[in-house]
Amino acid sequence: MDAHLLMLTVVSFLVTLGILITVHEYGHYQVARWCGVKVLKFSIGFGKPLFAKKLGNDQTEYVLAALPLGGYVKMLDEREAPVEEHEVSRAFNRQPVWKRIAIVSAGPAANLILAVLLYWVIFMSGVTGVKPIIGDIPQDSPAAQASIKSGELITSVNNTAVASWQDVRWVLVQQKLKSNHVEIEASINGQSYIHELSLDSITDSDFESDFLTKLGLTTYQPDLQPKIGDITAGSAAEKAGMKTGDLVLSVNDQGIGHWENFVNVIRQHPSQRLDVKLVRDNKTINLFVTPDAIDDNGKQIGRVGAAYQVDPAVIDQFLVDVKYSPLTALSKAADKTWETSIFSLKMLGSMLTGDVSWRGLSGPVTIASYAGQSAHMGIKAFIGFLALVSISLGVLNLLPVPVLDGGHLLYYMIEIFKGSPVSDKAMEMGQRVGFALLGLLMACAFYNDINRLITG
């Protein structure tokens, strides 16, 4: 990872944590104030304070601490310290159970509301994706067995309209949790076809990779001219003298019809000297290039460090940009947040039952990596990433695990049915169990992070 990308990753990770933690804790803070509870401290981060200042009539202390992996809102509470008589009514523990439920629920709710707002912005500004046009169908693949043909445009999956490959992937992931068969509607040359696609070949580990390829659903590749675009500094292409705008005619006297041919030939000849004939400024010239040998899942492939020169007119034919009115965008944003929340819960349930691998859990290292990648892709990608992580944080905190917000809500539900608060002893035992479960979850996430770093 170069210095620029490393810096972008660190900054993006800190921005992600800062926004999500601040929004979560502000939810607790604001509803506590609405409910008349005195807030003593509002802290973003743990450990040594980097900044602290007391403000307002209640002299609430606002803190920015050194360890940015969380935060907290400290409220007046008789269980933690003696409370003066005139402020007893403002203590958290003296509030009716419905107020305590509102205050505890407000943090996760704030994260989910943030996700809705972020998706709202995305849907209003326009979502760009690749049209789900089918490419080459591998023989004996599930797609081939379903009689899906190359060139067909997927229009719906199980009666859910799809406009991009991202939509197709998302709907198929959801359907896999329900059934091993889906109905694909596709069209070509004005004719519509219905295909029954089997998902039996997809295993839990495939969710971490491009499982669409395993189904035989490949992206249609247009015949692109073998024209050189950007060249990586210090690459084999630069050393050979290739330049942006060069049109490749042949490699070792093998004709090159389109870009994919050129890529395949290069990949098949790592560390081998190749005779390349190309056109530059209407003149035919010959160059010799030796592709660098790159390890690709244990196999050596060639790479010269030259990219395709993009022709916007060709690319635009295969892209779709969908914008929505503010009201429709808000509705879709709410639906997207709801569907993602339910999907997260189903995935977690499947992990508990063993139907889905625990390798899907991610820790701070993976989140930081994705934050950097999404920021590098552009503001829309980063906003989408931020919304997704905000949903994950909100859903995670609603789980009925002591020490999480959901654990406290569980106590309050028991209090409603029991008619009295849960005993201090029961809460203490619950805290221990909660810390143990949370520690186990974090250990698993860190293990996955380290495993991804080692295996790539």
Show which residues are catalytic. 25
* 212: three-class secondary structure by DSSP: helix
In this structure, the strands spanning 292-296 and 319-322 are: unpaired
- Please, which residues have CB within 8 angstroms of residue 356's CB and are 6 or more apart in sequence? 204, 207, 347, 350
The dihedral of CA 379, 380, 383, 388: what is its sign? negative
Using CA atoms, how far apart are residues 301 and 229, in angstroms rounded to an integer?
A: 21
CA-nearest of 32, 45, 19, 13 to 405 is 32
205-235 as b/e, with b when 16 or more CB fall inside 10 Å? ebbeeebbebbbbbbbeeebebbbeebeeeb
Beta strands in 290-388 (DSSP E): 292-296, 299-303, 306-308, 319-322
Give the type of residue at 398.
L
Tokens standing for 102? 């509102």
User: Maximum distance among all alpha carbons in the chain?
Assistant: 93
**What is the per-residue DSSP string for 243-269?**
-TT-EEEEETTEE--SHHHHHHHHHT-
**What is the per-residue DSSP string for 72-114?**
EEEE--TTTS---GGGGGG-GGGS-HHHHHHHHHHHHHHHHHH
**What is the per-residue DSSP string for 163-184?**
-SHHHHHHHHHHHHTT-SEEEE
